[in-house]
């Protein structure tokens, strides 16, 4: 018989070897088995005490002592590999833009430049207001001077004394600069259009080559 069977037989009052009794006296595992079997027999017979004292805390403490030690894992900054996302080049980004969006952008830029040029020319060539209110508000002050004869004479300061009218040469130079700006912008639009058409032509050929 095994040790458990011999311990159970001893609980039942049967005759067993003296080695079992000696084992119960010196082996803690055999003693715990004896106590467990005794408790089970009392429960089955209904002979359990009214206030049974269960050593639950001791059992939990012993189970925790048998558990392996858990150490937290520390991550070092040197072990972390940074992730760098590849940024697209301007050529690739421009190639992914749809055609209608590029055309709308070019038309909007052309409209803004034209509007700025027209407003600047109108502001530069706008004549002075001749309304009574404006003439009264912008009327130059009148100063009185005393000549050698002793009589005071009024002298007015005209705006023409401080502001000179633009000459024909200055107006021609301004028109020439505006025309140069418009021609340069038109040239930039043509270059962008040619580059876009070239990229569209190369795209199908590259896709067929990859296939």
User: Of the ranges 8-17, 88-97, 133-142, 188-197, which is most confident?
Assistant: 188-197
Share of the chain above pLDDT 70, in %: 44
Confidence of residue 26 (pLDDT cuts 50, 70, 90): confident
Query: Quick one: average pLDDT of 169-173?
Result: 86
DSSP state string for 100-142 = HHHHHHHHHHHHHHHHHHHHHHHHHHPPPP-SHHHHHHTPPPE
Mean pLDDT of the chain: 67
Contact present, 33 and 7 (Cβ < 8 Å)? yes
Tell me, what's the pLDDT at 55? 67
How do residues 98-117 score in pLDDT, each as one tens digit? 666 666 676 677 767 767 76
Encode pLDDT of 143-152 as tens digits: 555 554 555 5
Residue 129 has pLDDT above 50, yes or no: no
Question: 20, 37 in Cβ contact below 8 A?
Answer: no
CB 106 within 8 A of CB 190: no
Neighbours of 30 (CB within 10 A): 19
d(CA 101, CA 103): 5
Confidence of residue 190 (pLDDT cuts 50, 70, 90): confident
Higher pLDDT, 62 or 78: 62
The tokens for 62 are 């012993």
User: What are the domain boundaries of the chain?
Assistant: 1-45, 99-121+165-201
If one compares 112 and 92, the residue with the highest pLDDT of the two is: 112
pLDDT at 42: 73
């Amino acid at each position: 018989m095994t040790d458990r069977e011999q311990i159970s037989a001893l609980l039942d009052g049967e005759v067993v070897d003296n080695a079992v009794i000696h084992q119960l006296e010196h082996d803690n595992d055999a003693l715990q088995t004896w106590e467990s079997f005794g408790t089970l027999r009392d429960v089955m017979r209904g002979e359990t005490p009214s206030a049974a004292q269960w050593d639950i805390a001791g059992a939990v403490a012993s189970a925790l002592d048998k558990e392996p030690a858990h150490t937290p894992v520390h991550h070092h900054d040197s072990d972390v590999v940074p992730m760098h996302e590849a940024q697209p080049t301007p050529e690739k980004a421009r190639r992914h833009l749809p055609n209608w969006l590029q055309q709308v952008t070019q038309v909007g830029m052309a409209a803004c430049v034209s509007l700025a040029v027209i407003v600047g020319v109108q502001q530069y060539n706008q004549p002075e207001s001749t309304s009574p209110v404006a003439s009264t508000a912008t009327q130059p002050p009148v100063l009185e001077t005393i000549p050698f004869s002793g009589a005071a004479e009024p002298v007015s300061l005209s705006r023409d004394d401080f502001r000179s009218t633009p000459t024909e040469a200055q107006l021609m130079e301004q028109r020439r600069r505006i025309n140069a700006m418009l021609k340069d912008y038109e040239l930039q639009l043509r270059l962008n259009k040619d580059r876009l058409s070239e990229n569209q032509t190369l795209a199908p050929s590259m896709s067929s080559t990859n296939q």
